[in-house]
A = this chain, B = another copy of it.
Amino acid sequence: MPQDEPAGRTGRTDHDEQPRWLDAEQQRLWRAYLDGSVRFVDAMTREHDEQSEVSLYEYELLVRLSESPDGALRMSALADGLAQSRSRVTHTVARMETRGLVRRSATADDRRGVLCTLTDEGRRTLVVAAPTHVAAVRRYLVDVLTPEQFRALGEAMAAVAAACREARPS
A residues engaging B (CB < 8 A)? 1-3, 16-17, 19-22, 26, 28-30, 32-43, 46, 60, 63, 66-67, 82-84, 126-127, 129-131, 133-135, 137-142, 144-145, 149-165, 167-168
Is A139 a contact of B167 with CB atoms below 8 Å? yes
State whether A163 and B134 are in contact (beta carbons under 8 Å apart), knowing that A1-B66, A39-B83, A46-B168 are contacts in the complex. no
User: Within the assembled complex, what's the spacing in Å between the Cα atoms of A43 and B165?
Assistant: 9
Q: What are 27 of the A-B contact pairs (CB < 8 Å)?
A: A1-B63, A2-B134, A3-B63, A3-B133, A3-B134, A19-B134, A19-B135, A22-B138, A29-B150, A29-B153, A30-B142, A32-B161, A33-B157, A36-B156, A36-B160, A36-B164, A37-B37, A39-B164, A39-B165, A40-B160, A40-B161, A42-B83, A140-B163, A144-B163, A145-B159, A149-B159, A153-B156
